[in-house]
């Protein structure tokens, strides 16, 4: 059997973390089994579906690296096929027209609630032989006896009595098909072998199985993954961090870190926390997906992102850092290689936004010194320290970090000062603040011209600041 999984989002909004995790689990299972991963856009909700949402889904999938093998398929391009199947079900006697009005159905529902019964359609039109000439919906004729047994690959065996299911609508009065019909036809036509989706779809599964049986189609395996909760135990929402996947890019997360975090939201392999993509593929098993819901923890995601920034190949981090430098308006052509910036800044940067913001001074002049840093380190006499260093730096034939560092250490001895009284005024002079990578690394990255020019500027600033 060819393993085929699918991710089938509705383009009524952005790709959020819950959808991204479902896509990841489906993608991993297909990759692990050497199968196909299908992307399907379920855009039959014509009022709410937008091209902007379609683009947002593609952007999120591309950024995460979850490439599909087949598709994208659009349900709006398959209406003829859905009509064909609806007609087949009518011809077989497995579907019928229903003319019950909204008012009738509302009244029925209220009466059932009053009687403490489960609200459901009562089958009034089931045997009425209503012709297609009437303005009517089309309902699937659900079996009245027996039960549906779902061998769920995550939750185990789920049994639902058919009497608990009513005759669901498969086509609206305007002829457009409904979700439970389109998804069945798509999964059947596309040969989907494993349906991996959120457990909010469990109620749909027995209905869809019954339609598949009526069509004499093979049944896929189902795996319903538990929902993601916020820290307060409520279903994940925007206030918990259920934002667009692309917002995590905007906030400076690496896609690898987000994928690693998402795979651990409901799946585990021993006590291991950090997984490469290759490890995820090799180790992922549906039987290891947790049955209970997982809690979204932004602090854990931030910690994981820092681990990836520190331990990923600098070239990989630099590739993603470039987007943030561009976004912050920094031209990186006149300055050090971004790979070297990553090596210098990765220990102190939890996000790429932080890394980019902390690296502006390598590429452009800063407008002013940090007020607190200047007050503390640009005291009287600091100009003499900088002048001494500047004179010694100027003698260097080769601008080398090790040699620059030695000059700083020698100045400590010559000037009889503590290291902080020498290095910190220098750091503020060349970076504009009291925080930077190691002073020798910072000097080497800045280069001779920028360093000496900024030291000269700082000397004049200190003299002006300390005039009596």
Q: Which residues are catalytic?
A: 238
Based on C-alpha coordinates, what's the Rg of the chain? 32
Q: Give the Cα separation of 61 and 121 in Å (integer).
A: 39
Structure tokens at 212: 């598949």
Q: Give the Cα separation of 288 and 283 in Å (integer).
A: 10
Please choose, from the candidates 192, 189, 182, 199, the residue with its C-alpha nearest in 3D space to the C-alpha of residue 220: 192
Q: Give the Cα separation of 199 and 89 in Å (integer).
A: 28
Please choose, from the candidates 170, 151, 155, 176, the residue with its C-alpha nearest in 3D space to the C-alpha of residue 208: 170
> DSSP label at 226?
P
Structure tokens at 438: 């190691």
Backbone dihedral region for residue 329 (phi beyond 0: left; psi -120 to 50: alpha; all else: beta): left
Residues in the chain: 468
Look at residue 297 and give its three-state secondary structure: coil
Please choose, from the candidates 15, 18, 5, the residue with its C-alpha nearest in 3D space to the C-alpha of residue 295: 18
Residue 306 Cα distances to 204, 265, 339, 353, 430, angstroms: 40, 18, 16, 12, 26
SS3 content of the chain, % helix, strand, coil (to 5): 50, 10, 35
Structure tokens at 306: 């820092």
SS (HEC) of 101-165: CHHHHHHHHHHHHHCCCCCCCCCCCCCCCCCCCCCCEEEECCCCCCEEEEEECCCEEEEEEHHHC
Structure tokens at 286: 């549906």
């Amino acid at each position: 059997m060819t393993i085929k999984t699918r991710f089938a989002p509705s383009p009524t909004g952005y790709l959020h973390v819950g959808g991204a995790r479902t896509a990841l689990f489906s993608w991993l299972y297909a990759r692990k089994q050497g199968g196909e991963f299908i992307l399907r856009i379920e855009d039959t909700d014509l009022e709410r579906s937008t091209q902007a949402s379609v683009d947002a889904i593609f952007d999120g999938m591309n950024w995460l690296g979850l490439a599909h093998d087949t598709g994208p398929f659009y349900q709006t391009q398959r209406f003829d096929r859905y009509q064909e199947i609806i007609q087949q079900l009518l011809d077989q006697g497995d579907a019928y027209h229903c003319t019950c009005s909204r008012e009738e159905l509302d009244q029925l529902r209220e009466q059932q609630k009053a009687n403490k019964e489960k609200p459901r359609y009562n089958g009034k039109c089931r045997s009425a032989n209503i012709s297609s000439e009437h303005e009517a919906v089309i309902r699937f004729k659900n079996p009245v006896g027996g039960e549906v047994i779902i061998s769920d690959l995550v939750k185990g065996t789920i049994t639902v009595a058919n009497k608990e299911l009513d005759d669901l609508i498969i086509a609206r009065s305007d002829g457009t098909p409904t979700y439970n019909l389109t998804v069945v036809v798509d999964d059947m036509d596309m040969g989907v072998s494993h349906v991996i989706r959120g457990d909010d779809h469990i109620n749909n599964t027995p209905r869809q199985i019954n339609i598949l049986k009526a069509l004499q189609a093979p049944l896929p395996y189902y795996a319903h993954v538990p929902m993601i909760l916020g820290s307060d135990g409520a279903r994940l929402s925007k206030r918990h961090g259920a934002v667009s996947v692309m917002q995590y890019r905007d906030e400076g997360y690496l896609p690898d870190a987000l994928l690693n975090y998402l795979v651990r939201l409901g799946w585990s392999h021993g006590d291991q926390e950090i997984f490469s993509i290759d490890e995820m593929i090799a180790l992922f098993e549906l039987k290891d997906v947790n049955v209970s819901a997982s809690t979204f923890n932004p602090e854990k995601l931030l910690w994981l992102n820092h681990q990836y920034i520190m331990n990923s190949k600098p070239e990989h981090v630099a590739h993603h850092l470039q987007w943030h430098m561009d976004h912050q308006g920094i031209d990186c052509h006149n300055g050090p290689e971004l790979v070297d910036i990553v090596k210098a800044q990765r220990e102190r940067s939890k996000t790429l936004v932080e890394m980019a913001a902390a690296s502006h001074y390598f590429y452009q002049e800063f407008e002013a010194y940090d007020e607190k840093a200047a007050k503390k380190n640009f005291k009287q006499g600091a100009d003499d320290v900088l002048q001494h260093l500047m004179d010694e730096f100027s003698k260097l034939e080769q601008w080398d970090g090790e040699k620059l560092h030695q000059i700083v250490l020698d100045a400590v001895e010559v000037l009889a000062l503590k290291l902080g009284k020498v290095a910190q005024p220098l750091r503020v002079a060349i970076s504009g603040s009291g925080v930077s990578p190691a002073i020798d690394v910072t000097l080497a990255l800045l280069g001779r011209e920028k360093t000496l020019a900024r030291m000269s500027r700082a000397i004049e600033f200190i003299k002006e600041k300390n005039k009596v």
